[in-house]
Structure 1
Amino acid sequence: MTSDERKIIFASSLGTVFEWYDFYLYGSLAAVVGKQFFSSVNETAAFIFALLAFAAGFAVRPFGALVFGRLGDLVGRKYTFLVTILLMGTSTFLVGVLPSYASIGITAPVLLIVLRLVQGLALGGEYGGAATYVAEHAPGHKRGGYTAWIQTTATLGFFLSLLVILGTRLIAGESAFADWAWRIPFVFSVILVSISVWIRMTLSESPVFLKMKAENTTSKAPIKEAFGEWKNVRLVLIALFGVVAGQAVIWYAGQFYALFFLTQTLKVNPVTANLLIAAALLIGTPMIVFFG
């Protein structure tokens, strides 16, 4: 692996880690967020509503992939990267400063869901874009190994969110954390996004994209070409329901639902629960690179 390839993988992965950090903060703090923005209902219902708002981010991710995938095919991977991370970072910061239900009423959960939708759109474009960008820089026989680093970003982003939440809990104390300090991890994302944007500004455009652009062979209608023929749609459906859906169910059940079950059902101390999940993530992450 050359120094340029290492830089590309590092910069792409780091930015995607920060995006997952932003996306997963909400999931990690669903119980706390539910009490802040859905306080008009009982605690159990508030938690369910908070999870539904979390799900809203997933509902729009395919549309984010379509929008930003098309943008990446038209103007390039690098600039699409910058748009998605700025959208994600801004949305996460705004969640951190958003007034609660007690302050502005029903407007609070409505704005929260809107911000979750923006996060989902941004992540839908970022994750696939990062994998494409790295794959287009990788030698043909090393694409699995190189893009495996992008696959680690979801786990590392979740791990980072747990560490920041844990640190904030320990420093501020549980009472202050539940009251106002839960906002700190969201506001902290401004620093992470600034670092990522600065690093990504130094990257060059994908050589594959530049070659296609120079030869005038870039697609004029990427979505139509991808989904206009059954042979392409068939591959998409096989990938989506034959591979990715099952993998996603296992991943989210093993990480998020495990965390929710520990804290909400078994009533395990949140600090202990975070440490247990963080340890599991730390053990599992190297396996992604190994199998890639």
Structure 2
Amino acid sequence: MTESAAAGNAAVYEPTAKDIRMVIAASSAGTVFEWYDFFIYGTLAAIIGKAFFPSDNATLETLLVWAGFAVGFGFRPLGAVLFGFLGDRLGRKYTFLVTVTLMGIATAGVGMIPSAATIGIAAPIIVILLRILQGLALGGEYGGAAVYVAEHSPPGKRGFYTSFIQASVVGGFVLSLIVVLGCKALMSDALWESWGWRVPFLLSLILLAISLWMRLKLSESPVFQAMKQQGELAKNPLKESFTYPGNPRRIFIALFGIAAGLTVIWYTAMFSGLSFLKGPMKVEDTAAEIIVGVAAATGMGFFIWAGHLSDRVGRKKPIVWGYAATLVLLFPLFWWMGSVGNPALSAAAERAPVTVTGSQCSFDPFAQKQETACGRTLGELTKLGVPYTVAATDSGFDSVTIRIGDREVASEDPALLQPALEAMGYDFAKQIPSWDSIAVIFLALLGLSALSGFTYGPVAALLSEMFPPHVRYSSLSIPYHLGTGYFGGFLPLIASFIIAKTGNAYSGLWYTWGVVLIAFLVTAFMLKDPVEGQWNKPVPTTTPTV
């Protein structure tokens, strides 16, 4: 297939500069809306837990919410297979019209489900089913938008143009925060808690209408039109994605070197950053959401800058630089936030560290009720966000002793633990940091956004250039959504589990660090920058052998 075939075929639509601007605007807006739909669940994780996953174990409630979050990501690869097949067979435009429609309807559905208190177990089941539909839709959306913009972009500007698609993912997260904050500002606390939180989900129907209106104005990709006219469409895009010469290696690099790494960095920057401030740091919820939202919105510039830079220095260098910097700066940036997020709480933890001594001293985050006194104590400390160390004994008795600094608390009643901690200087009231502290938190989050921007900004152009046009939608979507769906989608769940097991608010970052290390090694030693025009040759109409 010739990617320049559109230019040599008068019957094929050739986009003007105005058309390309419309392509970028419509594709980016649709991507913002679709990711808004997907992220609104994570933004409202705490209230969703109370409504649909109520439990006596606060940690279990949180884990169940993030498990529901992960389920949506888990089905993204299936959506990539399904819609990738349709995108390579039927066209880029109409496929991502279907995906945005499915996403909008599923998101609005979450806002209409009665709570578990009303319909019992049916509530979380329906939520999970709708998350599955969202995952399927998102599995087809990104590949369609990225390929569509890339196939309209001229050489030398593809990184810059497609970077707007990358920044739009962040835009979806920012929009979800703006809508939530706006709704909370217009409602009383009681109204928000009772039913007002459903409004952000229902607003997705309006966003769906806007997105469909914009995307219906678009024409099909010129590259796809040329392939269709020349009879060069793939007969089985899924099979040919794995049998086209060199594609298995490219898919491996795209999965482990690109998708996995960039996703865990971005989710750590935004979701882990927000959870860290609202949880262990006890920053007031609205203040935390505003700080993270402003940092994310500001950081979108790094995505566009990195995409533009990749047009000059190649796609590989910004990504490798971003991975290397993340390995060095990830922990220090979170430590920096932790040092100012709630200084009094941090000082109390240093001045009066908590040591728990007991037999069978382990905490099961997935248990409705802890079986031992020590487990119940660790569960309470985890809920409060207090770091602790465990000194196990072999006494055989179900007893526990808690030492807070130089004070010993011999009690098996977790309800008495918080007053004892407060007596030793721990303050669990939600705090609004000082302006100086807010500035530091903002800069730390902006640093995380920069790391994400360098690893994410050039990716749509890179992945589009890596794969041959006749199987591009499928070949791009499958590794991207496997990487983002499993490595990234399960990050909040895995990180929360690690933190719950260790009692260390920073321990969940090791998951991110390990995945980024793998991505760095794969990218640094296996990825080669795509050569412009490498696909400007006929594509075989029969399935080649490797």
Give the TM-score normalised by the residue count of structure 2.
Answer: 0.53
Question: Is 2:157 aligned against 1:164?
Answer: no
Displacement of 1:279 in angstroms is 1.3
Question: Is 2:218 aligned against 1:203?
Answer: yes
Q: Report what 1:268 is aligned to.
A: 283
Displacement of 1:156 in angstroms is 0.4
What is the distance in 1 between the residues matched to 2:107 and 2:79?
Answer: 17
State the SS of the aligned residue for 2:151. helix
What is the distance in 2 between the residues matched to 1:41 and 1:142?
Answer: 54
| Identical-pair percentage | 51
Question: Is 2:255 aligned against 1:246?
Answer: no
Using a 3 Å threshold, how does the CA distance of structure 1 residues 56 and 280 change in structure 2: closer, same or farther? Answer: same
Q: Which amino acid aligns with 1:175?
A: A
Q: Report what 1:135 is aligned to.
A: 150
What is the distance in 2 between the residues matched to 1:79 and 1:56?
Answer: 26
Q: Report what 2:192 is aligned to.
A: 177
Using a 3 Å threshold, how does the CA distance of structure 1 residues 230 and 47 change in structure 2: closer, same or farther? Answer: farther
Q: Which amino acid aligns with 2:134?
A: Q
Q: Which amino acid aligns with 1:10?
A: A
Contact 1:263 1:270 in 2 (8 A): yes
What is the distance in 2 between the residues matched to 1:11 and 1:230?
Answer: 34
Q: Report what 1:256 is aligned to.
A: 271
Contact 1:95 1:115 in 2 (8 A): yes
Q: Which amino acid aligns with 2:185?
A: L
Displacement of 1:266 in angstroms is 2.1
Q: Report what 2:426 is aligned to.
A: none
Q: Which amino acid aligns with 1:156?
A: G
What is the distance in 1 between the residues matched to 2:159 and 2:62?
Answer: 39
What is the distance in 2 between the residues matched to 1:156 and 1:18?
Answer: 8
Displacement of 1:78 in angstroms is 1.0
Contact 1:35 1:47 in 2 (8 A): no
Q: Equivalent residues in 2 for 1:139-158 (5 A)?
A: 139-158=154-173
Q: Report what 2:47 is aligned to.
A: 32
Q: Report what 2:101 is aligned to.
A: 86
Displacement of 1:267 in angstroms is 2.2
State the SS of the aligned residue for 1:6. helix
More deviation, 24-33/234-243: 234-243
More deviation, 259-268/208-217: 259-268
State the SS of the aligned residue for 1:204. coil
Displacement of 1:40 in angstroms is 4.1
What is the distance in 1 between the residues matched to 2:31 and 2:244?
Answer: 31
Displacement of 1:82 in angstroms is 1.0
Displacement of 1:175 in angstroms is 2.6
Question: Is 2:239 aligned against 1:224?
Answer: yes
What is the distance in 2 between the residues matched to 1:231 and 1:41?
Answer: 52
What is the distance in 2 between the residues matched to 1:206 and 1:231?
Answer: 25
Contact 1:11 1:200 in 2 (8 A): yes
Contact 1:24 1:158 in 2 (8 A): yes
What is the distance in 2 between the residues matched to 1:230 and 1:183?
Answer: 49
Displacement of 1:4 in angstroms is 0.8
Give the TM-score normalised by the residue count of structure 1.
Answer: 0.97
Q: Report what 2:297 is aligned to.
A: 282
Q: Equivalent residues in 2 for 1:32-111 (5 A)?
A: 32-111=47-126
More deviation, 257-266/197-206: 257-266
Q: Report what 2:467 is aligned to.
A: none
What is the distance in 2 between the residues matched to 1:118 and 1:233?
Answer: 28
Deviations 1:91-144 (A, max 9, x none): 000000111101111011011011111101101100111000001111122211
Deviations 1:208-254 (A, max 9, x none): 10100000001011110111357311111111111221111111011
Q: Which amino acid aligns with 2:51?
A: Q
Q: Which amino acid aligns with 2:151?
A: E
Note the residue ranges of structure 2 that are not aligned, 5 or more in a row.
1-15, 308-546
Poorly superposed stretches of 4+, deviation over 3 Å: none
User: Which among 15, 18, 33 is matched to residue 3 of structure 1?
Assistant: 18
State the SS of the aligned residue for 1:265. coil
What is the distance in 1 between the residues matched to 2:306 and 2:22?
Answer: 22
What is the distance in 1 between the residues matched to 2:230 and 2:258?
Answer: 34
What is the distance in 2 between the residues matched to 1:92 and 1:249?
Answer: 24
Say what the alpha-carbon RMSD is for the aligned residues: 1.2
Note the residue ranges of structure 1 that are not aligned, 5 or more in a row.
none
Q: Which amino acid aligns with 2:186?
A: I
